[in-house]
């Protein structure tokens, strides 16, 4: 369970003087196994939500708990273990340009110290599931937009995370490919086997609302709409 209570996040940047209120007084609960869309205009605070949940940032005030861990109290040496439950597809740093697809995905396993034997077995499996095994030896600049997004998703998924967060996974894709990628993400959340929480951050509100999942709309650092837990 992810639980925000009266969370405010203000960024203080030394160079630009005035503090920026990215999120104000957020109250939100997301249950294990839920699939949730975060939508809303640019600058609304969506990526900041992701950065708070994964403890890349800490709240300025309020309380935030993720699976029982109080993120304002967590000890620094416990943070790597805490992060290992997440798979994140980042908005602006998707793939390493100098690695091929296989190595991009394998990297996420190597940083956790996984043995090569398991990497060799698991990377092809996740590339197959994403439909890009035939691109394993290609470099990012040799891929189509959709293939890049799916390779980045493969990397986020390869460690079988309890919580998957995709930040703008349809950026730069045409409508058909956007739908394919969202279908794929929603199907990952629907998998009965894993009971995985999936958070999809997207500008594409109309497309997102077609899935009948919970949709949370951010505006100006606040929750402007929350359709609530989807019917099971
Ligand atoms: N590191 C930072 N330092 C200062 N201000 C920041 C920082 N990161 C984000 N902001 C500001 O916080 C607000 C929310 O940003 P955030 O990235 O969460 O928005 P977003 O909803 O993800 O937007 P987009 O849809 O464009 O990705 C914006 O006003 C942004 O300029
Ligand atoms: Mg963003």
Mean pLDDT within 54-67: 95
Sequence-ordered list of residues with C-beta below 8 angstroms from that of 1, at least 6 positions apart, any chain: 29, 30, 31, 32, 65, 66, 67, 68
* Cα 219 to ligand 1 centre (Å): 12
CB count within 10 Å of CB 58 equals 13
Q: At what angle do helices 145-157 and 101-110 cross, to 10 degrees?
A: 20
Quick check: 26 pLDDT over 70? yes
Nearest CA to ligand 1 atom 24: 42
Quick check: 14 pLDDT over 80? no
Q: Where are the alpha helices (DSSP H) in the chain?
A: 46-53, 79-83, 101-110, 116-129, 145-157, 175-190, 205-209
- By three-state DSSP, how is residue 147 classified? helix
> Which pLDDT tens digit goes with each residue over 117-143?
999 999 999 999 889 999 999 999 999
* Cα 115 to ligand 2 centre (Å): 34
Strand 163-167 to 86-89 pairing:
parallel
Mean pLDDT within 190-202: 88
Rounded CA-CA distance 57/36 in Å is 21
The predicted pLDDT at position 16 comes to 63
Q: Which pTM does this prediction carry?
A: 0.93
51-60, 112-121, 148-157, 188-197, range with the lowest pLDDT: 188-197
Rounded CA-CA distance 199/69 in Å is 19
Nearest CA to ligand 1 atom 18: 45
């Amino acid at each position: 369970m992810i639980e925000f209570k009266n969370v405010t996040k203000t960024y203080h940047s030394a160079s630009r003087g005035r503090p920026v209120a990215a999120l104000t007084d957020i109250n939100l609960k997301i249950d294990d196994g839920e699939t949730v869309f975060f939508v809303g205009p640019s600058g609304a605070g969506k990526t900041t939500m992701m950065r708070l949940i994964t403890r890349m940032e800490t709240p300025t005030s309020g309380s935030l708990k993720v699976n029982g861990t109080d993120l304002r109290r967590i000890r620094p040496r416990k943070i790597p273990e805490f992060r290992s439950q997440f798979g994140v597809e980042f908005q602006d740093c998707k793939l390493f340009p100098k690695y091929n697809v296989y190595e991009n995905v394998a990297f996420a396993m190597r940083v956790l110290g996984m043995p090569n034997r398991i990497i060799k077995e698991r990377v092809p499996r996740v590339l197959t599931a994403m439909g890009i095994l035939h691109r394993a030896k290609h470099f990012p600049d040799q891929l189509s937009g959709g293939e890049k997004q799916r390779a980045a998703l493969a990397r986020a998924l390869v460690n079988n995370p309890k919580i998957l967060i995709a930040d703008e996974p349809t950026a730069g894709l045409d409508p058909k490919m956007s739908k394919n990628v969202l279908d794929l993400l929603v199907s990952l959340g629907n998998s009965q086997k894993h009971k995985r929480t999936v958070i999809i951050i997207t500008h594409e509100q109309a497309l997102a609302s077609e899935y009948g999942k919970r949709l949370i709309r951010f505006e100006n650092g606040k929750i402007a709409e929350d359709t609530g837990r989807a019917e099971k």
